[in-house]
Amino acid sequence: MGISGSGKTTLATSLSQELGWPFAEADEFHPESNINKMSAGIPLTDEDRWPWLGSIRDWMSQHADNGSGSVVTCSALKREYRELLETARGRVVFLQITAPTEVIEDRMNHREGHFMPASLLPSQLATLEPLEPDEDGHMLPNNGSPQDLLTDALAGLTDLLGADPHGRNLA
């Protein structure tokens, strides 16, 4: 989880490969109306997000029902969004990726083929409610290489799960 441009897709792809769990990009669950709004620089409302978050939750539940963990990128900016995602069957663990605003803005300005414009970064920062200590999650500063981020994520998962996540079937 984290704001756009924080490194969610890079980490999730690596985690999925490392753990052998299916991966989904939350952006793929957005209805066309949400993508059109964001492409036009219009921030989404909570009403826009609830069905989208429900679809992500249902996808995670399907994998948990099949005995598999899963990896999903999702901004999950508000605690109430995370609370909805936590209703998925299986255990839901959040890894919040952080990076300096200027680094994220630079990434957003230089990436190609993504509908989220850098002009929406301030609204994401204003909406973000960082993980709280009582939430099932771990904060990950993205201040090194993608491999460093993966190593930190695996260590965070090991701490949260009380065991090495390799071979574990948790959603």
Domains defined along the chain, listed by start: 8-161 (3.40.50.300)
Instruction: State the Cα–Cα distance between residues 22 and 1, nearest whole angstrom.
Output: 17
Confidence of residue 171 (pLDDT cuts 50, 70, 90): very low
Work out the pLDDT band at 13, boundaries 50, 70, 90: very high
Q: How confident is the model at residue 64 (pLDDT cuts 50, 70, 90)?
A: very high
The residue that leads in pLDDT, 117 or 149, is 149
Closest listed residue to residue 59, CA positions, set 7, 23, 6, 14: 23
Confidence category of residue 128, pLDDT binned at 50, 70, 90: confident
Q: Which residues contact 156 (CB under 8 A, 6 or more apart)?
A: 95, 138, 140
pLDDT at 123 over 80: no
How much is the pLDDT for 82? 97
What pairing do the DSSP bridges indicate for beta strands 71-73 and 23-25?
Answer: parallel
Q: How far is Cα 45 from Cα 19, in angstroms, rounded to an integer?
A: 34
Mean of pLDDT values over 131-159 = 92
